[in-house]
Structure 1
Amino acid sequence: MAELKNCPKCNAIFNYNGLRDVCPKCHKEEEDLFEVVYRFLRQRENRAASIDRITEVTGASAGLLHKWVRKRRLHPAQFPGLGYPCDNCGTLIIQGKICKSCTDNIRNDLDKHEANIEFREAVANSNKKTYLSSRDK
């Protein structure tokens, strides 16, 4: 079911149906800009252009380029200078939400947490009683 939203670009009210995050007028402008960017990238000498270079030449914002890569409208396999920022650290990536480094850090933290839980359970379940001597106090 559609709901009324304000366009984040022009603040116009539009029916949001979950497919487009901007009003029809801004969507048309984005599509026209996409065509300009795509024509620029299709030229052999521009295929490896960086996001900064594409922004400079076409006028498309970096955020819009990131959005198109995220939605797979522009493919980093064809245009190696493209990507979008990792949700955690901001490193340019070409798939997923977080980069490999952040994924590894999260995985290591989870492994340490699980090891701590297992250790606490092992200590709690052990039948050995600990006695303190007068030297331990």
Structure 2
Amino acid sequence: MEVRNCRTCGRLFNYIGGNPNMCPACRDDLEKKFQEVKSYIQDNPRASIQQISEDNEVSTNQLRQWIREERLQFTDDSPIGIECENCGASIKTGRFCENCKNTMANSLAQSIEKPKPIEEPKKKPDNKNKMRFLEK
């Protein structure tokens, strides 16, 4: 196992691949903050990112990360919006707008070559076992 320092508190912990560089205690604290923010947004759907950040003592960068990860979603009438990473359109959650998602999915599907059906070689007629007639 690999031992790393927690990026939040600096304590040593056993790093398991794929997890952020955070010790289990800090990760649990962050999850509790997320649940608080989620319930706050349900109670205050028109709140801005800055207001959510100040009232819940969470950085705006952390809020944006949760939005990009699609863990937080906002209603259509909410003033909160982030930009699509591809075209810059305003979106409520995720990294890309629906247009860009569809374009990427189509280009990916076109880039993957579909297997061509295997054609069996054409058999030549076998004239050896047939009856023949001679004409005069």
TM-score range, shorter chain: 0.5 to 0.7
- Asked if the contact 1:12–1:23 (Cα under 8 Å) also holds between the matched residues in 2, the reply is yes
Which 4+ residue blocks in structure 1 deviate beyond 6 angstroms?
Answer: 85-88
* C-alpha distance in structure 1 between counterparts of 2:41 and 2:80, whole Å: 10
When normalised by structure 1's length, the TM-score is 0.54
Structure 1: unaligned runs, 5 residues or longer: 98-137
| 1:60 equivalent among 38, 42, 58 | 58
**SS in structure 2 at match of 1:96:** coil
Say which structure is richer in helix: 1
Distance 1:39 1:96 in 2: 23
TM-score (norm 2): 0.54
Please tell me the residue identity of whatever aligns with 2:22.
Answer: V
Structure 2 residue runs of 5 or longer lacking an equivalent are 97-136
Residue in structure 1 matched with residue 9 of structure 2 by the alignment: 10
SS in 2 for 1:4: strand
RMSD: 3.1
Equivalent pairs, count: 95
Q: Percent identity?
A: 31
Displacement after TM superposition at 1:42 (Å): 0.9
Aligned-pair CA distance for 1:61: 1.2
> What is the identity, as a one-letter code, of the residue corresponding to 1:59?
E
**1:92 and 1:60 mapped to 2: Cα distance?**
23
